[in-house]
Structure 1
């Protein structure tokens, strides 16, 4: 059963980020077919992230009550159906709607996958297994642009969604037939519907406000955040156990470190893709081969980093990884038109090493810091930090570009401004990562507590 759980969760951990990154390559083709503007095209990419973020925590809590395997299988099925319907879309609006459906399925998968692995494997094996899972995530992210380009060019953009269908069916069948056990450590407790609605609306308003630079939306979202905290502090069975943040320093700071790490690193590939194709005049395929250096290193080293965090305090390993990543971002903040490709590849490999050292041990620290009945919500919270961090990363880039370049096409005349925008973005990201080092270091010891429990 443990092997089946590892295979099923690892495959979904590959599939969802693979779809996320491969769709981005297909967006220009989609835009040409549906003749949509840049804002609508952006929503095709953003709809998945936003809907995932909205439902991650509610589904994590529901999984703790109703059963993690059940929610996982339903999520895989919805994600697969959303993929098929996306491939059959006849308009941009229809595609956006089905991307939302995909995101809902993705939220159910994100919020339960790590919780299932944590339920099945012992604390002594947890770091290694979570390392394998993290490696599959970044393998999906790294292969997505490469194979997404091949699929789009040879079979059309719809093929990017169609390839998910058979794999999704296999995962659903494998989980249903091979995983006989069920995990619902909060069975019998009530589901907090009001808290879930407040949470989802709060997240939508904040994310829309940041993305659109609308202060009114941000303020409204922050007001709902206060309301959410007050409500969750009083309700008997909250959708998000606020005490995990107030009384569990390790959990709170590890999630903060994850948020800062994803906010500082998600847009790296996007920025370098622009730099390589515009400034260095490389083809998309050539740029893809260069950009694959970072995720390949991370995919190869993540299992080792997870294994290491089973033997060395996770905060030490993760903090070292955050420091290495901050250094890599700082180096990229000095990039210019004369920067050698070899330096970019070398620095991407350095960052891949830093990502690997951070991700697996940080996940291990979060999951090892909570009781079994909170595994689902802990897994969902971590996934929320990832998705929100990814959206914040892109929002920072959009804000910097708006200040430096404005709403104009990227032509050779604005290349100097493009380089300035890229350098500024990397500088901001390096500062975020620098603060993340302290959040990671301050979390306290995890391994000793886990072994004692």
Structure 2
């Protein structure tokens, strides 16, 4: 049992990180009813977490390399537990959003260590078993989140979607202390403070601008100022990374066209496959008056279950196919599934979403595992950790900006329709059409620019971690 304690500790942390996305999505309408929150507040409940995770992930990996992965992982669990408690007792939406940002900070520290801990703990056949189990937990967590969120919200209240994290954190700490030995990178990591700060400001400013524009219009002065600040911060980030001798993101990697295309595909996949789910949940619960359990079963579980099945049944076969086809055709499936859902009217029921969600789930099951191995195959082995971290960073950023963009589109249609039921359906249709177009663009880019890789490199798991589900 002690041999597998590190695996159990890592799997528990991974389960928390993944469940905490979908479990919160199902609870959003209940949170809005409790606090009288508007769409902008709901978007920040999700984006506060995702942005903190994206902004700090690469930097957290450097700190883990320098000060110890076990220590960083335990610190991350502690922050995650405290912030979960703060989320559960939040007296208003502002306090909840702040606690979610703190939760994202803890999540980044955990996320950066998961695969690295397995990589240094297990060798040979045991390593294969460990990563196989870890991958299965990724899929199971994504599938369990909607159902767990619905059950907890409907029968115990939305605060329990955060309180349930506490006992899991305690068990994860016990297994980490009991079975995980400390490890550091022999060269030591260095924290890129200028890069982290400028990247965080750029991502947060753009996201704020998008959400603000949805409320106040695209000509609003505050929204325009936010976009300008984001642009300036982005330029500062690029300058900081080019001048740094220890950048958190080596920009020269993007000179490789396949690598840059796959990173962009990861960014767009997260938006196209997952960015509209919060608004599907709003439609299911606030318009159709479904309970949280039914909303989870109809609005998220079909996708997660289909993705899990594809990964379990066809995962090995897909790894033998060129990523140009698995990623490109998978994105076409995501586009088709989004468009299949975009046929709602005032008389539609939640069942209308299910076929499209299943198609999207099949596409996700093809795309995400293939993206991971393809990106690592495009860089030298010594850059595999940074490449894996970049993948996860841009995935989280894609989700955050996707929620912001789709939220603006959804809110505009609901406002224009004066909150009538058909306006919600029209708003969801519009977000799904944009999501489908986004996936289609990503598919075309991958099919054009991603070519067969160079001769095989060592593709051992990256130390920065890689979650193949949301």
TM-score scaled by length of structure 1: 0.86
CA contact (8 A) 1:132 1:303 kept: no
**Matches of 1:297 and 1:316 in 2, distance apart?**
19
Decide which moves more: 170-179 or 232-241: 170-179
Provide closer, same or farther for how the CA distance between residues 186 and 423 of structure 1 changes in structure 2, counting only shifts above 3 A: farther
Q: Does 1:239 align with 2:240?
A: no
Aligned counterpart in structure 2 of residue 266 of structure 1, from 250, 270, 274: 274
Cα deviation digits, residues 43-90 of structure 1 (max 9, x gap): 334322232222122213333443444322321221122212333444
Contact in 2 for aligned 1:309/1:364 (Cα 8 Å): no
Unaligned runs of 5+ in 2: 214-222, 461-470
Write out aligned runs for 1:297-446 (5 A): 297-337=306-346, 344-406=353-415, 410-412=419-421, 415=422, 417-441=423-447, 442-446=449-453
The structure-2 alpha-carbon separation of the partners of 1:328 and 1:24, relative to structure 1 and needing over 3 Å to count, comes to closer
Instruction: Give, in whole Å, the separation in 2 of the partners of 1:70 and 1:439.
Output: 41
Structure 1, unaligned runs of 5 or more: none
Q: What is the CA distance between 1:167 and its match in structure 2?
A: 1.0
Number of the residue aligned with 1:289: 297
Give yes or no for contact 1:205–1:220 (8 Å, CA) kept in 2.
Answer: yes
Q: Which residues in structure 2 correspond to 1:144-183 (within 5 Å)?
A: 144-180=145-181, 182-183=183-184
Pair 190,397 (structure 1): closer, same or farther in 2 beyond 3 Å: closer
Deviates more, 1:329-338 or 1:29-38: 29-38
- 1:212 aligned onto 2:212: yes
Match of 1:222 in 2: 231
Deviation at 1:448, TM superposition (A): 4.3
1:73 and 1:445 map into 2 onto residues whose CA distance is: 40
Displacement, 1:142? Answer: 3.6
Is the 2:154–2:292 Cα contact (8 Å) retained in structure 1? no
Superposed counterparts of 1:45-60, under 5 Å: 45-60=46-61
Q: Distance in 1 between matches of 2:122 and 2:345?
A: 47
Higher mean displacement: 207-216 or 425-434: 207-216
Spell out, residue by residue over 1:271-296, the C-alpha distance to the aligned partner (whole angstroms, 9 max, x if none).
Answer: 43344456656444333222311211
Q: Counterparts of 1:74-89 in structure 2 under 5 Å? A: 74-89=75-90
TM-score by length of 2: 0.83
Bigger mean CA deviation after superposition, 7-16 or 130-139? 130-139
Deviates more, 1:235-244 or 1:145-154: 145-154
Work out the number of aligned pairs and report it. 448
Residues 12-71 of structure 1 show CA distances to partners (whole Å, capped at 9, x for unaligned) of: 222123223323443444455556555445433432223222212221333344344432
Q: Deviations over 1:321-370 (max 9, x none)?
A: 11211121222233445667666323322221111011111122223444
Write out aligned runs for 1:62-141 (5 A): 62-117=63-118, 133=134, 135-141=136-142
SS in 2 for 1:435: helix
The structure-2 alpha-carbon separation of the partners of 1:4 and 1:365, relative to structure 1 and needing over 3 Å to count, comes to: farther
Q: Distance in 2 between matches of 1:192 and 1:156?
A: 41
2-side partners of 1:186 and 1:333: how far apart?
51
Shift of 1:102: 0.9
Map of 2:217 onto structure 1: none
Name the CA shift for 1:212/1:121 in 2 (closer, same or farther; >3 Å): farther
Q: SS state of the match for residue 405, structure 1?
A: helix
SS of aligned partner of 2:397: helix
**Contact preservation (8 Å) 2:43, 2:407:** no
Residue deviations 1:292-336, cap 9 Å, x none? Answer: 112111122224454234433333322221121112122223344
CA contact (8 A) 1:265 1:393 kept: no
- Tell me the CA shift for residue 256 of structure 1: 0.9
Inter-CA distance 126–249: structure 2 relative to 1 (3 Å threshold): farther
CA distance in structure 2 between the partners assigned to 1:165 and 1:205 by the alignment? 32
Shift of 1:392: 1.9
Is the CA contact 1:2–1:121 (under 8 Å) kept in the aligned structure 2? no
Distance 1:85 1:399, change over 3 A: closer
The CA RMSD over aligned residues, in Å, is: 3.3
- Asked if the contact 2:275–2:402 (Cα under 8 Å) also holds between the matched residues in 1, the reply is yes
